[in-house]
Each structure stands twice: as C-alpha cells, then as structure tokens.
Amino acid sequence: MGKSLFDKVWDEHKVAALSETRDQLFIALHLVHEVTSPQAFQALRERGLPVKYPERTVATVDHIVPTEQQLVRPYGDSLAEEMLQALENNTRVFGLPFFGLDSAAQGIVHIIGPENGLTQPGMTIACGDSHTSTHGAFGAVAFGIGTSQVRDVLATQTLALERLQVRRIDVVGRRGLGVYAKDIILKIIATLGVKGGIGYAYEYGGPVIEALSMEERMTVCNMSIEGGARAGYINPDQTTFDYLQGRPFVPAGDDFAAAVRRWQAMTSDDDADYADRVTIDITGMAPQLTWGINPGQVTGIDEPLPEPDNCAEEERDGVRKAYEHMGFRPGRRLAGEPVDVAFVGSCTNGRLADFRAAATILKGRRVAPGVRALAVPGSRSVKRRAEEEGLDEIFRAAGFDWREPGCSLCLAMNPDKLSGRQLCASSSNRNFIGRQGAPLGRTLLMSPAMVAAAAVAGEVADVRDFLEGPR
Amino acid sequence: MSSQMSIIKRVEGRGLVLPGNDIDTDQIIPARFLRAITFAGLGEQVFRDERFDENGAPRPHPFNDERYHGAEILIVNTNFGCGSSREHAPQALLRFGIKAIVGESFAEIFAGNCAGIGLVVATMARPLVVDLQARVQRDPLLPLLVDIENLLFGCADERFPLAMNEAARAALLGGTWDSLEQLRRDDAAIERVHRRLPPFSTLLNADGQPL
Ligand code: SF4
C-alpha cells in the first residue's frame, strides 16, 4: 500500500512519539495574528523563553483592523488599539517578521501566506485560527490551533498531536453555470455533515477539483473545518507550481526545479491507503447557499427548504432552532427573500478571482435601494491588483463600499457589523448565530457572485439569471 | 499556563445540563470578548448572548439557572465546541468554574484546547447522556463523578462507562496535560528535523529579499 501526502508530510515532520497515540510534530511555518497570540507571548515572557525559530514565523494583523481609516492611529476603538500594539510590541521584542499596516504584504493571514509564497507544498503549517486549513490547497498539512498551542509552537516549533485519518473525497461530474468553488464545498459539507470530518483530514481530488484554479482550491480547503475536518488538502500539481513560481518566498532558478521535484514526490501515491473514500457528483447541481445557523444547513437556490420531520432525528432540533432564528418557513424557497446587507470578502472568498466574479455580475448594474453592500479585499495586494484592473470602479459604481483589507464582517471584531435582525448575503464561512456581530443577525453563506446577484436584486437571487450560457 | 505539572485523576461535583447539538464557540464566547490581551474576566461572559437579551436583562438559560450554581461538570450533546478554534471558549468555561465536560461528541480543536488546559472532556453513549441530563435536570444536587483513571461516570451510587481520548487521558493522569514541558525535553531532536527540512525563512534581508 502506498502513502498519502498527509502521511508523508507527517512522517517527515515527526520529531518523536510522545505516547502511543500522540506525536511531537515539527511545524515548518507558524502564522501569527493579533487575536490568539497575546496570551501565548505572555506565557513565553513568564517562563523567560525566546521564540525558537523566528525564521519560521510570520505575523500579521487582520481580525480587528477597521476597514475605513485603517492607517489613522491610535484607533478610536481602544481595545483594537491595545491588541494591535501588543502584537507590534511582541513581534519587536521577540524578533519576528511582521507584516503590519505599513507593509504591502498585510492582509488576512490565510490570504497573505499563499500570495507571498510562504505556503508551499509538503509543509506543516499551524496558526491560531481554524481556517488554517486553507493552506492545504497547496498540498500542505495545515490546521488551526488554540492559544496554548500557539505558545508551544513559539517556544518549541512543535506540537503534541494525534495523527488524523485521511478521507479521500473525489468530486466528479459537470460543473454547471453559476457553480463556483464555494458551491462545491457547501455541497461537500451538506453531504458529509458538519461533524462528518471529525478525526479526519480531507484529501480533495477527482476531475472537478483538479480543474480548479489555486484560488478556487483555497476556497474549498478553507471550509474543511466547517465540515469538522481539521485539515483539508489537494495534491500539488502543475497548477500549484505555476502559481508559486516567482513569488517572494519561493525558491528561484535551479532551486525552483529542485523544489518542484521534491513537491511532486510528496503527493499521494496512486495506491495510497485511505481510511475512507467518498465520491460526490455535482452534475446538475444548482448554486448552493446556507439557510440556517450552521454551515451544513445548505440548500440549492432552486430547492424548497427542508421539513424538520424529514430530517435525520439528531438534526431535527438544530433545524427547528434554525427556523426559529431565521424566520423562514419549511417548504418554501429562499429566492425572493429580501436581504439587507451584502458582503464580499473573508479568507474564503476575498481573493482577486472572487472580486472578478462578483464584478461580472455588478458591471453596469446597481445595488438595490436599501441594501448596504460592502467589498473588503482580503489583503493589500488583492486590493491593489483589483484596483489596477478597475474592479473597485465597478464595485463603487454599483453602489458597493470599497474598503481596506481585513476580516471585517466575517466575524465583526471591528466596526463592520450587522444590526438587529438584518439578513446578510455573505461570501464568508460561518453562519452561526451572532457571528456577524448582532445577536439576532442572520447570515446566508454563498459564492461572491451570488452575493452580487442578491445585492443587485435586493433579495436572494439565482446568479444564473445574471449569466449567459447553458445551465 | 503555569509550568506546574498537576495530575488530574477525577472530577467530582454537581452537574450543569446544556442540551443541544452543534453548540459552536461563537456561542460559548462571542467574538467581541476576544478583543483583549488576556483571558481574565472571560468566565462572566460565557454564553453572553444566550444568557442576556439586547438590554442586558437575563434570559432563562442553564448558565443563569440558580439551581446549577457552583456546578463543575457540564453535560452536553453532540459536536460541542464546533467552529472557531478560539481557546477563549474552554478558557471561559474553565473560568466560569467548569472542570469537566461530558457529552456525546466534541469538535476536535475544541477538545484539544481543553486537553491543553486541563479541562476534562469525556464522551458517553447517547442514551446515557440523555438519561443523565434528565436526572440532573430533575435533581441538580445529585453528586456526580468523572473518574478518569477507571473511565467511569458516577451518578449517586451508579457507575457508567465513559470514553476519553487516550492521549488526553494519559496526559491528565501523568500530569503532562500542559504540553510545553514535554515538548521542550529534546531540543536536539527538534533541531535535527529543522535541519533536515528544505531551507526556509520568512525573514528578509536588508534588500527586503527572503533570507
Ligand atoms: S476572514 Fe473570517 S474566517 Fe478568515 S481568518 Fe478572518 S475571521 Fe477568520
């Protein structure tokens, strides 16, 4: 039996066995941000420990930064200012590279890793953020960790972990009009459930996945955690290598060719041993969106909402709670439901391709009256390149706010929040109650193009009505 | 986050029943309470938006229920702690006074975060959990026991089988749940892996190029 990429990477980074089930795993790249790191740095201080390998660490600021007047310091929001200063201070004292607000490389941690070529195949990557799974798009083994583990990585560059099992997910079939990477991962989560991935790393493959661009692959891997899988990855191939070549932290010249050979050797063997295999056929699949309060409560835009009595018994309570919070009725369709807010951004869908996709819908159209529409690039680089293409003009002309980069309305730790019972068409990744900053606020997760369609229609809409081509 | 090793073999106390599946960490501790550089004070904010309405008036919620005051063993259902990896969630529960959580299943990062701070996480079969929840709801004063050594759950005089992640259990029993000391034992082994891997650096030289 051959080995999966996951097992090859694990074995290469294993330092020691700590117990029968737990290994000490070396972390090749540690990404740090302002929210989950201050207590970890404090713990180092208390023990008088340095950061063990500063060269394997990089920090940025993304969660709490405002998306308006981002560079005007000190922030009026004193808690945000305190957190930013803590990270500025910690990175200085501990000698860590910091892509702060004065850096052209600043942005959401899961966007700047790949775009700077820090994220490379065959690496182990950890970050105090559950969407670290994003980096798996490059064939890295990447996962979110808690603050005590951030401390462990800072102090030792290692973690105490149990090996995950690997589930291979093949996505096959014909991708229809208006179906984006977001629709594919929502379908996967709906099919396997929000707890389906517990104990697993997901290896995504098959013809549909292989045909995805790197940006699309990142969207898929990003939401592995919404399916319960701590890590998700795609074997690196020519698409991966082409994306990486020439990026700042990627080896250049002959070293690049050598790196590609090494990366190729890390991919899963054809006869790799998987704990489980699943095939998902997306032929005929309509654009997907969530209707409830967890990311597995997904429906097609053309489908009626589920009857609680027809749901699996253990899901019924959750489904009832979702109807209660969302105010929708079983059996009806979401199309036509008025939306109050539209948000394009986040580490799921805040990359250049996402703004291009939304702009295709917005070009020559206007956001419906009464809809607050927000476009938040995932990084400074995304913002700059979008502006070079004139995308910002399209968004502005349509009536969107074009903002500075950050996490923004994905989790509302900055001033961007829903209010009251507002309904938000959102390209982010979580629809938990309160996630977007208002305890009664409501979130519908969907692709950036679907968000744009909802913004223009003023209600949940089928993006295919805005596109030309066979369905 | 202290360096003191401490062995945890059992948790005794009263129960707090929190029914429901897929309770995510955004509910356990809403993101706005992450806007701080310490974990202090998190205990009071646990389940804030469920426990209080928009005007700050208390709502009926198990964590507000006087009958559960001082309870140390939280009893939950499936996929507890899903969502964001924030360690603030177990920290908030711990600081509220919870020492062990027993349920049908747990999200992985959450369970790992609990293990690292000595908060006991254990699972029981669904019928047992549901039955236990009903009994504690009827009588919140029932003395409960989470016996980590023998993998038993005690409710008054009865004993039921309990399951735990083996690594987490070993760490609690061995007093090594705070993983840092264990990870620092063999520096040379870490250095060997560092050197074996392809050269890599996030640091920039004077020209702004990667080292
Ligand atoms: S964009 Fe959202 S999910 Fe991504 S890192 Fe920021 S807060 Fe987390």
What is the largest distance, in Å, between two alpha-carbon atoms of chain B? Answer: 71
Q: Do domains A5-276 and A291-466 have the same CATH topology?
A: yes
The domain spans of chain A are 5-276, 291-466
Contact A407, A62 (CB under 8 A): yes
Q: Which domains does chain B have, with CATH numbers?
A: 10-176 (3.20.19.10)
Selected for mutation to probe chain B from A19, A96, A436 (highest B CB count within 10 Å) is A19
Distance (Å) from CA A70 to ligand 1 centroid:
18
Tell me if residue B157 falls in helix, strand or coil.
Answer: coil
Quick check: A20 contacting B, CB < 8 Å? yes
Helix (H) or strand (E) run with residue B55 in it: none
Q: Say whether B182 and A413 touch across the interface (CB within 8 A).
A: no
Which of A31, A83, A129, A219 for a ligand 1 pocket mutation test, highest count of atoms within 8 Å of Cβ?
A: A129
The neighbouring-strand residues paired with A158 are A26
Looking at the predicted structure, is the pLDDT value of residue B3 above 60? no
Q: Say whether A39 and B1 touch across the interface (CB within 8 A).
A: yes
Distance (Å) from CA A175 to ligand 1 centroid:
27
Query: Ligand 1: does its nearest atom lie under 6 Å from the Cβ of A25?
Result: no
Report the pLDDT value the prediction gives residue B4, as an integer from 0 to 100.
46
Distance (Å) from CA B154 to ligand 1 centroid:
41
- Closest C-alpha residue for ligand 1 atom 6: A407
Q: Say whether A160 and B3 touch across the interface (CB within 8 A).
A: no
Give the DSSP letter of residue B69.
T
| B182, B184, B211 ranked by CB distance to A55: nearest | B211
Query: Ligand 1: does its nearest atom lie under 6 Å from the Cβ of A386?
Result: no
Determine the Cα–Cα distance for residues B78 and A324; give it in Å rounded to an integer. 20
How do strand A98-99 and strand B152-155 relate by DSSP bridges?
Answer: unpaired
Report the pLDDT value the prediction gives residue B1, as an integer from 0 to 100.
38
Looking at the predicted structure, is the pLDDT value of residue B54 above 90? no
In percent, the amount of chain B with pLDDT more than 90 equals 87
**pTM of the predicted model as reported, rounded to 2 decimal places:** 0.94
Cα distance from A148 to chain B (closest Cα, Å)?
7
Query: Ligand 1: does its nearest atom lie under 6 Å from the Cβ of A33?
Result: no
Report the pLDDT value the prediction gives residue A25, as an integer from 0 to 100.
98
CATH topology of domain A5-276: Aconitase; domain 3 (3.30.499)
* B-proximal residues of A, 209-238, CB under 8 Å: 225, 228, 230
Buried b (16+ CB within 10 A) or exposed e, A35-58: bbbbbbbbbbeeeebebbbbbbbb
Q: Angle A352-362/A380-388 helices, nearest 10 degrees?
A: 40
Looking at the predicted structure, is the pLDDT value of residue B79 above 50? yes
Sheet containing strand B120-123, strands side by side: B15-17, B73-75, B100-103, B120-123
The neighbouring-strand residues paired with A374 are A343, A401
Successive 10-residue mean pLDDT values, chain A, 471 residues? 96 95 96 96 96 97 95 92 96 96 96 98 97 98 96 98 97 97 98 95 98 98 97 98 97 96 97 97 98 97 95 90 97 97 98 98 98 98 98 98 97 95 98 94 98 98 93 80
> A261 burial class (0-12, 13-18, 19+ CB within 10 angstroms)?
exposed
- Closest C-alpha residue for ligand 1 atom 2: A410
Query: Residue B125: CA atoms inside 13 Å, Cβ hemisphere, count?
Result: 5
How do strand A98-99 and strand A57-60 relate by DSSP bridges?
Answer: parallel
Quick check: B183 contacting A, CB < 8 Å? yes
Q: Say whether A432 and B183 touch across the interface (CB within 8 A).
A: no
As a three-state string, the secondary structure of chain A is CECCHHHHHHHHHEEEECCCCEEEEECCEEEECCCCCHHHHHHHHHHCCCCCCHHHEEEECCCCCCCCCCCCCCCCCHHHHHHHHHHHHHHHHCCCCEECCCCCCCECHHHHHHHCCCCCCCCEEEECCHHHHHHHHHCCEEEECCHHHHHHHHHHCEEEEECCEEEEEEEECCCCCCCCHHHHHHHHHHHHCCCCCCCEEEEEECHHHHCCCHHHHHHHHHHHHHHCCCEEEECCCHHHHHHHCCCCCCCCCHHHHHHHHHHHHHCCCCCECCCEEEEEECCCCCCEEECCCCCCCEEECCCCCCCHHHCCHHHHHHHHHHHHHHCCCCCCCCCCCECCEEEECHHHHCCHHHHHHHHHHHCCCCCCCCCEEEECCCEHHHHHHHHHCCHHHHHHHHCCEECCCCCHHHCCCCCCCCCCCCEEEECCCCCCCCCCCCCCCEEEECCHHHHHHHHHHCECCCHHHHCCCCC
Looking at the predicted structure, is the pLDDT value of residue B2 above 50? no
Class (C level, CATH) for A291-466? alpha beta
Contacts of B91 in chain A (CB under 8 A): 147
Give one word for A145, left, alpha or beta, with left for phi > 0 and alpha for psi -120 to 50: beta
Q: Which residue has the tokens 């004139």?
A: A390
Report the pLDDT value the prediction gives residue B5, as an integer from 0 to 100.
62
* Cα–Cα distance list, A373 to A103, A219, A367, A430 (Å): 27, 21, 7, 18
Contacts of A140 in chain B (CB under 8 A): none
Query: Residue B191: CA atoms inside 13 Å, Cβ hemisphere, count?
Result: 4
Closest CA to B110 of B83, B129, B131: B83
pLDDT tens digits, B18-40:
999 999 999 999 999 999 999 99
Cα distance from A235 to chain B (closest Cα, Å)?
19
